Amino acid sequence: MNSLTIIKIGGNVIDNPDALTHFLASFRGIHGHKILIHGGGKIATQVAEKLGISTTMVEGRRITDQPMLDVVTMVYGGLVNKQIVAKLQALGVDAIGLTGADANTVLSKKRAVGAIDYGFVGDIEEVNSGQIQYFVRQNLTPVFAPLTYDRTGSLLNTNADTMASAIAVDMVIRNEVTLVYCFEKKGVLSDPDNDDSVITELTPESYADYKSQGVINKGMIPKLDNAFKAVEKGVKRVIICHANQVAEAVSGSGVGTVLRLGVPA
């Protein structure tokens, strides 16, 4: 079975040109087939402000009305995605920039209105892994912006962590998949003020304990929820690490936080 590395890059790396350049150089060095999923929320907020469009966040999630959907489409699918593709091409990586609408790759439905109306936010329903596999077999590196679509012509803002997990899970049909979430921290930390307090391994049991103690909280919880779903559904390895460590993490050198299922009794 072919090996495939899927990497989600986010945090402060995307909006820091030097950090992004360093990451992409490391990404280039990863052997074998690979896919990149990126965020870009801070840049979207900055562009929205320049356009006089207000940003509303609830529990770390962006409320996406029609003006904000226009902004994230421009920023995620255009500015950020094409800048990353251009930089990868310059490094000799034959990359193709995509949203979920391109080649019918990631389908979603508009999130139902509950206590909060998130607007044009998509919950993923289907990944067209056969089409993504076609790109990979052509020795192309797909670079996904966090946008999906709803079969009726509407783009939807979609969480990049969720998108990475969904693509990874569907690609296990044809590949041995490693999923890496990388950002500006060295992994999941036991002390948010100490960058060296990396929790080297998490199981569902230890994750539950850390959450109950408040050690793991806020935005790390949805990231880890997505990561554990991927492990449970057949992804070989899930690693959370610093963007500078991505090549080391993929090679298995022990950096970052590795997620695994508990050993059965």
Residue 178 CB partners (closer than 8 Å, separation 6+)? 3, 4, 5, 6, 235, 236, 237, 238, 239, 250
Residue 236 CB partners (closer than 8 Å, separation 6+)? 172, 176, 177, 178
Assess if residue 16 is contained within a domain: yes
* Residue 62 known to bind ligand: yes
Tens of pLDDT along the chain (265 residues)? 789 999 999 878 999 999 999 999 999 999 999 999 999 989 999 999 999 999 999 877 899 999 999 999 999 999 999 999 999 999 999 999 999 999 999 999 999 999 999 999 999 999 999 999 999 999 999 999 999 999 899 999 999 999 999 999 999 999 999 999 999 899 999 998 898 999 999 999 999 999 999 999 887 888 898 889 999 999 999 999 999 999 999 988 889 999 988 654 3
The residue behind tokens 């900055």 is 46
The pair of structure tokens assigned to 164 is: 């990475």
- Beta-bridge partner residues of 201: 258
Residue 11 CB partners (closer than 8 Å, separation 6+)? 39, 183, 184, 185, 243
The pair of structure tokens assigned to 57 is: 């966040």
Assess if residue 110 is contained within a domain: yes
Radius of gyration of the chain (CA): 18
| 22/197 Cα distance (integer angstroms) | 23
Assess if residue 103 is contained within a domain: yes
* Residue 41 known to bind ligand: yes
What CATH number should be reported for the domain holding residue 231?
Answer: 3.40.1160.10
Identity of residue 55: T
The strand ranges marked E within 150-236 are 155-157, 175-183, 201-202
| pTM of the full structure | 0.94
Judging by beta carbons within 10 Å of its beta carbon (0-12, 13-18, 19+), is residue 265 exposed, middle or buried? exposed
Residue 257 host element (H or E):
strand 257-259
Question: Domain tally for the chain?
Answer: 1
SS3 155: strand
Assess if residue 81 is contained within a domain: yes
* pLDDT for position 168: 97
Assess if residue 264 is contained within a domain: no
SS3 164: helix
* pLDDT for position 192: 86
* pLDDT for position 264: 43
| 53/178 Cα distance (integer angstroms) | 38
Domain that holds residue 169: 2-259
Assess if residue 167 is contained within a domain: yes
Half-sphere CA count of 236, side-chain side, radius 13 A: 16
* pLDDT for position 265: 38
* pLDDT for position 263: 55
| 124/114 Cα distance (integer angstroms) | 17
